[in-house]
Amino acid sequence: MSQLDPLPKELPFRIISKTVGRGAYASIKKAIPLDSQSPVFAVKLIHKGYATKHGRISAKQLAMEVSLHSHIGQHPNIIEWFASGEDAVWRWIAMEYAEGGDLFDKIEADVGVREDIAQLYFLQLVGGVSFMHSKGVAHRDLKPENILLSQDGSLKLADFGMATMFEYKGQRKASSTLCGSPPYIAPEILACGKVDKRAPSSARYDPDLVDIWSCGVILFVLLVGNTPWDEPSSTSWEYSEYVKTSGKSSDPLWGRIPPEALSLLRGMMSVDPQKRFTFAQIRQHPWYTRHNPLLTADGRISDPIVLATKMLENLRIDLGKIPQTTLAYPPASHDPTVDSGLNAGRFSSTQPEAPVKGDPLEWRRFFKKVVVLCKDGVYVPEA
């Protein structure tokens, strides 16, 4: 689609790869400074016309993604924003490069991951999301595809295209936007889409509370390798039974959840948002507070090699079979700058092509120079 639209010419960096990740209206490429081979970082390239026409994403929404991502600031479990810019056709966002791929690809379907690994990533997920919330920002599209892993396996929240500011200077703001991915969204979001005809037209929801629901669904997926339902509505018998039985579903998937984790999930996935667990309650839960040898006292990975080995144990990989195609990347003859959206729900925004090494401090040093040339945090090429 965008073969006719060349990328911006005056970029403060050099692109060094083909597309390594795609979304509905954006692509990710690797880049380096113009005068150096390091550091390597990721650049999200958004075709503004395509985003508006096919993704129904306005220029204001694109600007909001940049603004909120930069506003969040630095956290070890959030992809770091560095700089952004645009021309008449493209908007670009330079950010931390996640070498480990997305979490989705590390979860074996219908199996999940080991309980200690699930707890590790849940703790880091809560750390990242609660930090966002402390800045007044909610993600609204939390799912394994939007969670990346660093070189040592640490969790990194990514893709803030659906994010919103729900609190500013002590004033809270509810939302009515229908957004997110159906298996992971909270039921009150669907009410805003008038999926349920009985729902009032003025239906609104608290963005931070829907994030907590999504974190619960992600934990469920980590533990069993599947989502509890296709969407939280009356059209799903799994969800209907969950509501009818107050979370005591007869679905075999729920039967595989460890009892302590089950108690936590029911609290996080309360259909009544006002009864849903807060992060303070989550952090006091016995399953959350149990000791995890895979983590250090400050919440970092204690031994990346041990973690990687344990994760591979659950993946059904036939090392004797040579793959004919790859699900992660398109064939060499098909390298669209912007994806058609066909697999938009399948790929994360910064899915890397191959591991590279780079000091995060190098990224910050380089982008300090770039931001000097920026206006309001956005890069503007010099005349």
The verdict on 129 and 239 lying in the same domain is yes
> Does some domain include residue 349?
no
Bridge partners for 374 per DSSP: 379
Q: What is the pLDDT of residue 313?
A: 87
Last residue of a domain, one of 256, 289, 314: 314
The verdict on 153 and 83 lying in the same domain is no
The verdict on 159 and 216 lying in the same domain is yes
Q: Hey, CA dihedral for 262, 265, 270, 276, is it positive or negative? A: positive
> Does some domain include residue 364?
no
What gap in Å lies between CA 94 and CA 80, rounded to an integer? 9
Residue 140: left (phi > 0), alpha (psi -120 to 50), or beta? left
The verdict on 82 and 162 lying in the same domain is no
Type of residue at 232: P
E strand or H helix at 148: strand 147-149
> Does some domain include residue 328?
no
Which of 76, 227, 64, 68 minimizes the C-alpha distance to 144? Answer: 227
The encoded tokens of residue 282 equal 């989550």
> Does some domain include residue 360?
no
The verdict on 90 and 188 lying in the same domain is no
Last residue of a domain, one of 289, 314, 339: 314
What gap in Å lies between CA 320 and CA 318, rounded to an integer? 5
The verdict on 149 and 272 lying in the same domain is yes
The verdict on 90 and 157 lying in the same domain is no
pLDDT in tens, the chain (383 residues): 445 588 887 899 999 988 888 877 889 999 999 989 989 999 999 999 888 888 778 888 899 999 999 999 999 999 999 999 998 899 999 999 999 999 999 999 999 999 999 999 999 999 999 999 999 999 999 999 999 999 999 999 999 999 999 999 999 999 999 999 999 999 999 988 754 455 555 789 999 999 999 999 999 999 999 999 999 999 999 999 999 999 999 999 999 999 999 999 999 999 999 999 999 999 999 999 999 999 998 889 999 999 999 999 888 765 555 444 333 333 333 332 332 332 333 333 333 333 334 444 454 555 554 443 343 444 433 33
Type of residue at 110: D
Question: Is 317 in contact with 6 (CB distance < 8 Å)?
Answer: no
Last residue of a domain, one of 295, 314, 333: 314
> Does some domain include residue 163?
yes
> Does some domain include residue 200?
yes
Q: What is the pLDDT of residue 193?
A: 76
E strand or H helix at 42: strand 41-47
* Domain, as residue range, for 234: 101-314
Q: What is the pLDDT of residue 4?
A: 55
> Does some domain include residue 42?
yes
What gap in Å lies between CA 284 and CA 269, rounded to an integer? 16
Which of 156, 96, 158 minimizes the C-alpha distance to 124? Answer: 156
> Does some domain include residue 376?
no
Q: What is the pLDDT of residue 145?
A: 95
Q: How many domains does the chain have?
A: 2
The encoded tokens of residue 149 equal 């892993």
Active site members:
141
The verdict on 150 and 257 lying in the same domain is yes
Question: Is 162 in contact with 138 (CB distance < 8 Å)?
Answer: no
For position 203, which CATH number holds? 1.10.510.10
Distances in Å between the Cα of 277 and the Cα atoms of 180, 209, 213, 223 are 20, 9, 9, 19
What gap in Å lies between CA 319 and CA 142, rounded to an integer? 32
The verdict on 151 and 292 lying in the same domain is yes
The verdict on 65 and 189 lying in the same domain is no
- Number of other residues whose CB lies within 10 A of the CB of residue 115: 17
Q: Is 44 annotated as a binding residue?
A: yes
DSSP state of 322: P
Q: What is the pLDDT of residue 317?
A: 65
The verdict on 145 and 279 lying in the same domain is yes
The verdict on 51 and 158 lying in the same domain is no
Q: What is the pLDDT of residue 318?
A: 58
Q: Are strands 155-157 and 147-149 parallel, antiparallel or unpaired?
A: antiparallel
For position 85, which CATH number holds? 3.30.200.20
